[in-house]
Amino acid sequence: MDVNDDEDADENIKRQVRLQIEQFLYSKGITLADISKPELLDARMELIIWLKETTLMPGRKLAEITGINRETIRKILVG
């Protein structure tokens, strides 16, 4: 497996997780574009906890995929 295969696999995982995020948010009546609004802090927290439980990805990957600040993710996950 070469570097390009690893990058393709990583991009595929990111795409799948983004789709899961969009489906999760849609079930709550929220769009991906809306998730950064201050009034949706609870939804962001719920999203991060759900993602961590379902994907088992490290916080830095979640930050990269969601665009949510790593420090915010850490605070949500640590409490």
pLDDT (tens digit per residue) in 16-74: 888 888 888 889 888 877 877 888 888 888 888 888 888 777 878 878 777 777 887 78
What backbone torsions phi and psi does residue 57 show, to the nearest 5 degrees?
Answer: -80, 150
pTM over 0.95: no
Helix (H) / strand (E) containing 63: helix 59-66
Q: Which of 10, 24, 25, 27 is nearest to 65 (CA)?
A: 10
Residue type, 5: D
Residue found under tokens 């999760």: 24
Query: pLDDT-based confidence at 79, cuts 50/70/90?
Result: low
Contact 58, 35 (CB under 8 A): no
Question: Domains of the chain: which residue ranges?
Answer: 3-78
